[in-house]
Structure 1
Amino acid sequence: MTGADGLHGTGAVLVATGLTKTYRHSFRPGRRPAPVLRGVDLELAAGEVVGLVGENGSGKSTLMKILVGELAADAGTVIRGGRLGYCPQQPVVYERLTCDEHFELFGHAYGMPTQSERASRAALYTALGFGRYAATRADRLSGGTLSKLNLALALLADPDALLLDEPYAGFDFDTYLKFWQLVAERRQANRAVLIISHFVTDAERFDRIVELRDGQAVPP
């Protein structure tokens, strides 16, 4: 289920219930299936910032891909109550397109009016400090600047829920602080943010933290 009817009046922008996922190793006959998610429940409310933590291989990225619809769950439901912005761990870009061309392409995909897309683009260039690379092709960007573009594309359409998979990998400290300023602005605008994070020092920046452990979402 992906419709929003079930969220009316709840204050939630995304609700996942009973999500399960097992990877079957078809390329290795005789190997047992590997359960990753075993009935995960997760709710994301408007105006909150939630951290998603867990050991390597605990299923954090798998869960996020299911939440945004990139990957199908074996069972369970996801109800999305608005527009989602998704920043995957590995940037999904077109090597021969410039930063400007990426914004134009994604703006068109989001159905944004040209003026709105350009205004949002300009604001994101300023907020993340990479406007000087507007005409630079993606294959000529440094890893840090590519991460900025990846994040900016997720933010472009002002999504109701922003889902970020280790978004600040490759950021210098100044950009790291800018990132958290953007997150604070999302909270103030009553937008929801879900962040996969491995930094314990980030704990105070979240409204709450959810840990994936033994295939389920639990308090840390």
Structure 2
Amino acid sequence: MAGGPVLRMRGVFKSYRNRPVLRGMSLDLHAGQLVGIVGENGAGKSTLLRILAGDLTADSGVVERSGRLGCCPQETVLHQAFTVEQHLQFFQAAYGISRLSRAYELLEELNFSGYRYERVETLSGGTRQKLNLVLALMHDPQVLLLDEPYQGFDWETYLRFWDLAAALRDRGCAVLVVSHLAYDVSRLDILYRLDGGVLREAERTDTIAVAS
């Protein structure tokens, strides 16, 4: 069962050039909960995640966070000339963690260990997304925000991703998955639709797709 809220958003508004994107949005993420948000491209999903992560300031409203935060943006924040191992070392220093044991565990779980000494410029889009996910998780966050996390994954990696998400939930992490397409929604505890700048709980069906 999910624990108390580790991320709370209340009454958040955000506009760009007088165009409202988020209209008084509220959301609770609880420890040990796997939540999905689905919405069409341009609906404000990335804006919402950036505000939740603290990378973007809302026009009004409140966001409260507790515990370590991990964020996996849709656009990978990777350097083309560096290897996977170098990225792990750089983020190890940034997070201030003493060992890379958790990162190596994640490489194994995503069937990615053989790429440790490959440069990013040689990796496929799906493989880069694996690295992006590892970097967001290697410091063992209590809250994980994922923007289109399985984009470019093959079927095996897609299934590994959901196994990992379930394992994180079981460890007490609050996991938020944001996408324009939601498969296997039965894996989620709650699914919301972002439409017109407002979050509404979506009906539980096997697949929810929206126009991109």
After TM superposition, is the score higher than 0.5? yes
Larger radius of gyration: 1
Instruction: Name the residue aligned to 2:8.
Output: 15
Post-superposition Cα deviations, 1:173-214, rounded to whole Å, max 9, x if no partner, equal 000011011001011101110001333432111000112122
Instruction: Name the residue aligned to 2:144.
Output: 162
Instruction: Name the residue aligned to 1:3.
Output: none
Instruction: Kindly report structure 1 stretches of 4+ aligned residues shifted beyond 3 Å.
Output: none
TM-score, reference length from structure 2? 0.91
Cα distance between partner residues in 2 of 1:92 and 1:100: 15
Alignment of 1:32-181 (within 5 A): 33-113=18-98, 115=99, 118-181=100-163
Q: 70-79 or 193-202: which moved more?
A: 193-202
Instruction: Name the residue aligned to 1:30.
Output: none
What amino acid does structure 2 have at the position aligned with 1:178?
R
Post-superposition Cα deviations, 1:20-47, rounded to whole Å, max 9, x if no partner, equal 11111xxxxxxxx211001100100000
> C-alpha displacement at 1:219, in angstroms?
1.5
Cα distance between partner residues in 2 of 1:217 and 1:143: 30
Paired residues in the alignment total 200
Alignment equivalent of 1:193, drawn from 175, 189, 193: 175
Higher share of residues assigned helix: 1
- 2:39 and 2:181 in contact (8 A); partners too: no
> C-alpha displacement at 1:93, in angstroms?
0.7
Gaps of 5+ in 2: 203-212
What amino acid does structure 1 have at the position aligned with 2:134?
A
Gaps of 5+ in 1: 1-9, 25-32
What amino acid does structure 2 have at the position aligned with 1:13?
V
TM-score, reference length from structure 1? 0.88
Cα distance between partner residues in 2 of 1:107 and 1:200: 32
Cα distance between partner residues in 1 of 2:106 and 2:79: 19
> C-alpha displacement at 1:104, in angstroms?
0.9
> C-alpha displacement at 1:18, in angstroms?
0.9
Cα distance between partner residues in 1 of 2:182 and 2:117: 37
Instruction: Name the residue aligned to 1:5.
Output: none
Quote the sequence identity (%): 49
SS of the residue 1:95 aligns to: coil
